[in-house]
Amino acid sequence: MNKNFVDFMRKYSNQKLAVAVSGGVDSVCLLCWLAQLRQDFVCLHVNHGLRANADIETEYVKDLCKKLGVGCQIFYWTGEKPVNGLEAAAREARYKLMTDYCQENGIDALLVAHHADDQIETFLMNLGRGSGLYGLSAMRTESWRNGVKIVRPLLKVYRKEIKKYCEDNNIKYFQDEMNDDPHYTRVRIRQNRHLLYDKLGISDDRILLAIENLARVRDALDAEVENYIAQVLSERRAVFSDSFLFDQSPDVRLKFLGTLIQRIGGDEYQPRLNSLSNALNKLTSDCKFTLGHCTIRRLGQRILIVPEGAKTSFRKRHGKQKKQKDELKK
C-alpha cells in the first residue's frame, strides 16, 4: 500500500466515510486500500445506464464489497438523458445522488479516486486554456460539493502503482473506452505527456511540485479573500465601496468578486476568468449587468451584488421598518 496514502488517511481515521467506486482501476484500488485500513466507510456506486456493461460493473462492485466485508449502496440514474452535454450531466447526477446519501446518513466525507496523473493532466489542460492561479493549482485534496466534503486521498499516487497493485493481487477492474479516445483533450495529453520528459526533461514529479507550490499561494489568497468576504456579505447580498474592490491587488480583486458572485448566485463554480475581467472593467464606472445568476450594479462609489431578479436598491429595508412606513401611509 502506498505510504503517501496511508499518511494522508490518518487524519480521517475516526470519521465516517463514503467512497465513490465506478469499477475502474482507480476506485477499485481505493476501495481495497480503505478496506485494508479498516476504515469506517460505505461504498457508493452509480449505474448511469449508459454503457452496455453498466449492469455487469454494478454486480461486480456489489460482489467485491461483499468479499471485502464493506457496505455497498447502489444508485440508478433514471429519467431522460440530455442529447448534449451528456457527460457533464452524468457527472452532476452522480455527485447529487452520492452527496444526498452522505447528508442523509451523517457521513463526514466522500472519497473519490482522482490520482497524481489526473492532477498533472488537469494542470496541463488548464495551462493550455491560459488559466490563472486557480486553474494551475489543479484539484484540491479537500473541497465541497452540495454541502459535502469531497476528499482526494490519491493525488500523490501514480496510476502505474494503482494498476500494478490490482494486477499483482488479481483484482479485476473495468476499462472505460473513453480513456483511450483521442477525441478528448485529456486523452491526447495522457498519450503524449511523456514528451515533456523525453524532449525537455520535465518530470511528472516536478510538475506535481509546481502544482503544490501554486496550491500554497492559492490557499493564502483564499484566506485573505475570506476576510474581505466576511465584511461585506450578508444574507446573499453584498454592498461595498469601489475602493474596497479596486484597492486590492488584481488577484485578490478577481477572487473576491468571483467568490461573491458564486455564493450569492448559488452556482457550483465561479464565472470564468475572462468574464470576471470584463465585469471588473464594467465596474470602473456606473453600470448594471448580470453574471453568474447575479445582478451587479455600480452607482457612484458603491457596488451592489444581489441574486438575479432581486431589487437592486442600495437601501436595505428591514421588515419592521417597512411595516412602520406602510402603517403611516394608511
Q: How many CA atoms lie within 13 A of 265 on its CB side?
A: 21
Q: What is the pLDDT of residue 26?
A: 97
Instruction: Tell whether 167 and 259 lie within a shared domain.
Output: no
Q: Which residues contact 314 (CB under 8 A, 6 or more apart)?
A: 239, 299, 302, 304
Type and span of the H or E element at 275: helix 273-282
Q: Distance between CA atoms of 219 and 203, rounded to whole angstroms?
A: 25
Instruction: Tell whether 12 and 64 lie within a shared domain.
Output: yes
Q: What is the pLDDT of residue 324?
A: 39
- For the chain, the domain total comes to 2
Q: What is the pLDDT of residue 325?
A: 42
Q: Which segments of the chain have a pLDDT < 50?
A: 319-330
Instruction: Tell whether 63 and 178 lie within a shared domain.
Output: yes
What digits encode the pLDDT tens for the residues 139-151?
999 999 989 999 9
- Of 185, 200, 215, the one marking the end of a domain is 200
- 3-state DSSP helix/strand/coil percent for the chain, to nearest 5? 55, 15, 30
Q: Which whole-number Å values give the CA distances from 257 to 81, 158, 253, 320, in the listed order?
A: 34, 36, 6, 31
Q: Where are the beta strands (DSSP E) in the chain?
A: 17-20, 41-47, 71-76, 109-111, 142-145, 148-151, 238-241, 287-291, 294-299, 302-307
CB 121 within 8 Å of CB 37: no
Instruction: Tell whether 261 and 194 lie within a shared domain.
Output: no
Instruction: Tell whether 25 and 83 lie within a shared domain.
Output: yes
Instruction: Tell whether 24 and 123 lie within a shared domain.
Output: yes
Q: What is the pLDDT of residue 316?
A: 63
Per DSSP, the three-state class of 96 is helix
CB 45 within 8 Å of CB 23: yes
For residue 263, give the CATH number of its domain: 3.30.465
Q: Distance between CA atoms of 134 and 253, rounded to whole angstroms?
A: 14
Q: What is the pLDDT of residue 85?
A: 85
Rg (CA), the chain: 23
Q: What is the pLDDT of residue 190?
A: 93
For residue 179, give the CATH number of its domain: 3.40.50.620
What digits encode the pLDDT tens for the residues 126-176?
999 988 888 999 999 999 998 999 999 999 999 999 999 999 999 999 987
- Of 200, 225, 251, the one marking the end of a domain is 200
Q: Distance between CA atoms of 218 and 113, rounded to whole angstroms?
A: 23
Supply the range of the domain harboring residue 278: 233-330
- Of 152, 183, 200, the one marking the end of a domain is 200
Q: What is the pLDDT of residue 320?
A: 43
Q: What is the pLDDT of residue 321?
A: 43
Instruction: Tell whether 190 and 241 lie within a shared domain.
Output: no
> Do the domain assignments include residue 207?
no
